[in-house]
Amino acid sequence: MSVRFAWWMIALILGVASCQSRTVSAEPTDTPDQGSVWISADESFRPIVEELVQVYQSQHPRTSIRVQYKPEADCFQDLFVDSIRMVIVTRRPTASEEGWLTDSVGGITKSRAVARDGIAVLAHPSNPQTVWSLQELRDLLSGKSKNSLTPVVDGLKATSTVRFLIDSLLKGEPPSPNLMAARTSQAVIEYVADHPNVIGFVGVSWIGNREDSLQRVWQPRVKMIRLTHPKFPDYSALPDQVNVYPRLYPMTRDITYILRERHAGLATGLARFMESESGQLIFKRAYLAPLLKDFGFRPVQLQE
């Protein structure tokens, strides 16, 4: 064996060993019980996601779940980012989105709706109208209403609340140029509390939980509007569990996770936790409607 050939063999062996070392180090090291993971969540669900993550990490102290709260459209874009293993949004991917994900990142591993919430309609306590129809809301959002109230939402585009209002309420009709956008759901609540001439739209998880100390501060400062159902015009409902679960409250959406993790890692552990009895109880105690466990609901009176 020549000296040149011997050196070539040594270099080849070292190169292979180096590649193998990089391959091993690139393998995921997280499990449901340890490690860290990044996920993205719709900002509308921030209160409930924060509670879920806090409880999960307390039960698994060697884990770190880092959540980015964003508009829903940005969360769907994050499915194409390798570092994001899960998003929490209001819908499953469409067929075309699944096709794009399969072509670019290998597709998703699972998606499932785990709970349901309602979009709460908020008014200043001085507003005399306590019951609204969907048609009245359509007129307000489209600029056809005769009253002088201004609608306020959590961003003019890309958020799940705005998408719901445009797709399900306005049916694609352009919104009023008077529509105002606040930076966050909390900012919507603060603006309604300080301005008698506005109507705000937020996920009920931001304002409907009587056990949350921050929400208890704001609940007396805003009034939650009752909505009539198109099929039951004589029945008006607040977005509480007993009305949200069977969709008697007419503005509801599901809390859905989309998982794209190829191993049984930390994101998979969080998904299983949301499906478990413990996770479903957290949704129930936050005054949302769990979809996977039947705990039974009893009528309660939300603050109006």
CATH value at residue 196: 3.40.190.10
Length of the chain as a residue count:
304
User: Which of 101-105, 128-132, 252-256, 285-289 shows the lowest per-residue confidence on average (mean pLDDT)?
Assistant: 101-105
134 and 148 both lie in a single domain:
yes
| Judgement on whether residues 106 and 189 belong to the same structural domain of the protein | no
Residue corresponding to tokens 């900002």: 43
Query: Are 129 and 210 contained in the same domain?
Result: yes
**Looking at the structure, do residues 123 and 235 belong to the same domain, yes or no?**
yes
pTM: predicted TM-score of the whole model, two decimal places: 0.86
Residue 12 lies in a domain: no
Q: Is 78 helix (H, G, I), strand (E, B) or coil?
A: helix
Helix, strand or coil, per DSSP, at residue 128: coil
Residue 60, domain member (yes or no): yes
Average pLDDT (107-126) is 96
- pLDDT band at residue 35, thresholds of 50, 70 and 90? very high
Q: In this structure, are residues 291 and 115 in contact, taking their beta carbons and an 8 Å threshold?
A: yes
Q: Is residue 14 part of a domain?
A: no
Collect all residues with Cβ–Cβ distance below 8 Å to 296 and sequence separation of at least 6: none
22 pLDDT band, cuts 50/70/90, is: very low
**CA–CA separation, 255 vs 116, rounded Å?**
6
Q: Angle at CA 45, nearest 5°, toward 228 and 241?
A: 40
- Residues 107, 123 within the same domain: no
Query: Same domain, yes or no, for 190 and 264?
Result: no
- Sign of the CA dihedral 209, 230, 248, 93? negative
Q: Contact at 8 Å (CB) between 43 and 205? A: no
Out of 52-56, 93-97, 286-290, pick the least confident. Answer: 93-97
* Domains held by the chain: number: 2
Confidence of residue 57 (pLDDT cuts 50, 70, 90): very high
Residues 59 and 165 in one domain: no
Q: How far apart are CA 268 and CA 119, in angstroms?
A: 28
42 three-class SS: strand
Tell whether 145 and 50 lie within a shared domain: no
Q: Each residue of 152-209: pLDDT tens digit?
A: 999 866 789 999 999 999 998 999 999 999 999 999 999 999 999 999 999 999 999 9
User: Residue 15: inside a domain, yes or no?
Assistant: no
Question: What mean pLDDT comes out for the span 8-14?
Answer: 41
Range of the domain at 201: 117-244
Angle at 75 between CA 69 and CA 79, to 5 degrees: 130
Same domain, 178 and 107: no
| Shared domain check, 123 and 111 | no
Shared domain for 135 and 175, answered yes or no, is yes
Q: Is 57 helix (H, G, I), strand (E, B) or coil?
A: helix
Cα atoms found within 13 Å of the Cα of residue 283, Cβ hemisphere only: 30
**Each residue's pLDDT tens digit, 67-114:** 999 999 999 999 999 899 999 999 999 888 888 888 888 889 999 999
Q: What is the dihedral of CA 39, 103, 76, 252, to 10 degrees?
A: -110
Dump the DSSP string for 87-125.
EEESSPPPHHHHHHHHHHH---SEEEEEEEEEEEEEE-T
Q: Is residue 239 part of a domain?
A: yes
DSSP strand pairing (131-132 vs 226-229):
parallel
Q: Is 20 part of any domain?
A: no
Distance CA 123, CA 211 (A): 21
| Residue 40 placed within a domain | yes
Amino acid symbol at 161:
T
Structure tokens that stand for 285 in this block: 């105690």
Three-class DSSP category at 280:
helix
- The verdict on 219 and 156 lying in the same domain is yes
Identify whether 111 is part of a domain.
yes
Q: What is the pLDDT of residue 25?
A: 40
